Structure 1
């Protein structure tokens, strides 16, 4: 599951202005978790969170897929967090507005020479769980006092997750068919993570995945090969990547590059296959990546190519 979900706890820029919270919950990045951010914080483009760049303050929301509140609470102890560089000074249980439960922890984290005030809220709804993190540097505390930050975190609410169709509608491209894949997550408004079969369960992490995203900018023809090599070297969740073959090809009537590589799963060491396609347009390019167990490559490669060929910009 770690390979499927990049549990991105963003340590974003930090601090802001001491004003009242918004009147209605805002659901950043169109997600299922919302809150009333302190006045002065605005949604972060493409990220589930809020920030005040000038003041260097941020609140970031991470939805925990299929997470169980009671099980996760057991991992939230001071010793475990201390190993991650977070010192907890207080913790308390709170009730959330929609009947959910929350465990709020407050402390600080030292990053280099900077001491950050930090709040961690584990929030549990009827069928959903989320981790909400707020942080700011000590010198900004007068602009976002503890009471303001904690009041904002206490407004966390949940709503029904978007349907697969609603998530796909956010993207700047469409799929002719999902070829048995399902949406695991839409990343911002420009990329999607698909998994073959069910998106949950103990075996989800061993199933083929397909990631597609549109990147703005025109790439000169003489730079495309080096871009493709750098891009495949950055595929998350694998190690020991070795290019097996690659070369130019046309995708949807446009120029493209294909690279197929061998790798190992980052956690288990299991042999994996990675395939990457770049499709170049006039003002952007589309990057498509498939990652799957090496034993499944022959069986599932055609499905990955069908996803590639059925993807079209809106």
Structure 2
């Protein structure tokens, strides 16, 4: 299906939930359908099913979908400023309007508008909320954007009322079972090495491991990302350049320079390891980054670990333990 950028810029409305309202949202969670790895769920319109390629629901034949996106807590203040500015500026969206939507958990702000992508005209709805997550002595506020889009020629199947009813059923759950996330991956993670937080980045394709469940990784703590991909080069001579090019896409860091790179065997398969050092863009924290790529056929498993440089010795050992505990299904 066609999925134009579903979270344009920062001009979306914000719903602030009081504790009593949050409890109401959680009480509705039993009736909602939750995409794998998502803290947010809803009752999708008839005809839409859970997507296997993004967190949300879709009707591939009609190119209609609902995308649920979890954002870091820092994004909330930016959303709040956008709302308070009074302007509605959604890049690529025309006829944008803001209103109050009464959901099962209370009143929410909603943006609606029209968009065109790849020659297809869509109707779009955007709702956002936030909630606080407390765990192991750390607090984090997460923002959740729920975006629906329906081609104009599919409005008979998915009317404005249908979409509003689905958005009005949005519910939250306190946590995502680790087993739910891991069981839907094409590989097994048999060793977590004290990384107790497991988050789905792309359903069935990519996860993040952190030290605290439900939390964004603090800048001074390590985290891991594990994913599958393809195609990959079959010739050993091409793998170094391939791995290097993949790693160039990493974001949020500066002054990166390689300190180690060599081919190796990982789980009995050909692999390639690259280590970098640099700083974070946000806080200038000195970090070390390692990437392992394990090749099999025309695909690969990719493991990327990021750690503060001061903790690298101990953390690198944990990263390797996770890497060595990964098996294909």
Match of 1:205 among 219, 223, 226: 219
Provide the residue aligned with 1:18 in structure 2.
none
Provide the residue aligned with 2:70 in structure 1.
63
Provide the residue aligned with 1:89 in structure 2.
97
What displacement does 1:304 show?
1.3
Distance 1:210 1:68 in 2: 22
CA RMSD, Structure 1 to Structure 2 (Å)? 3.6
Contact 2:198/2:213 (8 A) holds in 1: no
Distance 2:81 2:124 in 1: 18
Contact 2:175/2:214 (8 A) holds in 1: no
Provide the residue aligned with 2:52 in structure 1.
45
Contact 2:71/2:143 (8 A) holds in 1: yes
1:251-262 equivalence runs, <5 A: 251-262=266-277
Q: Secondary structure at the match of 1:205?
A: coil
Contact 1:233/1:241 (8 A) holds in 2: no
**Where does the alignment leave 5 or more consecutive residues of structure 2 unmatched?**
7-30, 134-141
Distance 1:282 1:228 in 2: 15
Provide the residue aligned with 2:195 in structure 1.
181
What displacement does 1:149 show?
1.9
- Closer, same or farther in 2 for the Cα pair 1:143/1:239, shift >3 Å? farther
What displacement does 1:73 show?
7.7
Provide the residue aligned with 2:279 in structure 1.
264
Q: TM-score, normalising length from structure 2? A: 0.73
CA deviations 1:157-190 (Å, max 9, x no partner) are: 3345322233223223333432221234123113
- Closer, same or farther in 2 for the Cα pair 1:191/1:80, shift >3 Å? farther
1:291 is the counterpart of 2:291: no
Contact 1:90/1:107 (8 A) holds in 2: no
What displacement does 1:192 show?
1.5
Provide the residue aligned with 2:176 in structure 1.
162
Provide the residue aligned with 2:127 in structure 1.
121
Contact 1:101/1:124 (8 A) holds in 2: no
What displacement does 1:67 show?
9.2
Match of 1:146 among 150, 160, 163: 160
Distance 1:94 1:76 in 2: 21
Provide the residue aligned with 1:11 in structure 2.
5
Q: Secondary structure at the match of 2:277?
A: strand
Distance 2:174 2:260 in 1: 44
Q: Secondary structure at the match of 2:196?
A: strand
Contact 1:78/1:88 (8 A) holds in 2: no
What displacement does 1:285 show?
1.9
